[in-house]
Amino acid sequence: MTDEPPQGFQMSGRRAFLEIAIVLGLIAIVVVVLLALVKAGAGVLANYVPTSFDRTLGDQAGRAVEATSSPCTDPGPQKYVESVAAPLVRSLGDKRWDFRFIVVENDEINAFALPGGFVTVNMGLLSNAESGEEVAAVLAHELQHVVCRHGTRRMLRQLGTSVAFAALFGSPDVAVPASVVRDFLSNAYDRSEESEADARGLTLLSQAGADPSGMATFFARLEKTSLTPPAIISTHPDPGDRAEKAMQAAKGAKPTLTLPSPKGLRCK
């Protein structure tokens, strides 16, 4: 007499394990497929969602930014950014967007754009830029994120189809969960979106009459002088490659615009 379980019991145990493994595998496949479909669907859906949806998302995310940031008390930096951005916005010729700019008291060298045209510029960016052309290069990049609706595509992926359908069928108010806003503000665009914003930003600089080489000098200098890459570099494609592309774009450009320097600006 032995203590071994009957053969039928062993077979049953192996079969149960195999069935569980198959079910888990199928669930994993479904999740991967759904995520791929959501990402692809968000890109397609964004083409049919009205731009008022972008403004609704941007307004809510913008309030979160204002609630957690310290806007410059001196109006000088914001007026400066608006003056540098003005010829870029005019050259876009896109009346769908109501661009708004805010400068916040943050030493991180960064700027970011929310859907609908809400652009935040850190004082650290202005303090480290050597010329108005360098500031314009960053702003042109951020404006193109808005025009290409990169942020809207990201939020559609995060919010899911229910919010997208509500916006599509005319819901006057779309509630954005705080977690989605937090994730949006803390995560970078993907590299394809960053590369597109770079390329279109360089074109916009030339159209506005600004010197595209400002993008090259700014990012090349930051890459060489910082052991820890600033957020504006670390979240983008290879800075050396993007600087080279900017220099190539600048070769055929004929700047007609002289932009004011950010030197001497203070938040308070």
Residues assigned a catalytic role: 142
Please give the radius of gyration of the chain, using alpha carbons only, rounded to the nearest integer.
24
Tokens 């314009």 -> residue: 136
Q: Are 181 and 112 in contact (CB under 8 A)?
A: no
- In 3D space, the residue among 220, 190, 221 whose CA is nearest the CA of residue 42 turns out to be 190
Q: What is the rounded CA–CA span in Å between residue 133 and residue 211? A: 6
Strands 100-104, 118-122: parallel, antiparallel or unpaired by DSSP? parallel
Q: What is the rounded CA–CA span in Å between residue 134 and residue 246? A: 11
Full strand arrangement of the beta sheet holding 100-104: 100-104, 118-122, 111-114
2: exposed, middle or buried (C-beta count within 10 Å: 0-12, 13-18, 19+)?
A: exposed
Helix (H, G, I), strand (E, B) or coil at 226: coil
Give 191-207 as a DSSP string: HHHHHHHHHHHHHHHHH
Q: What is the rounded CA–CA span in Å between residue 155 and residue 184? A: 7
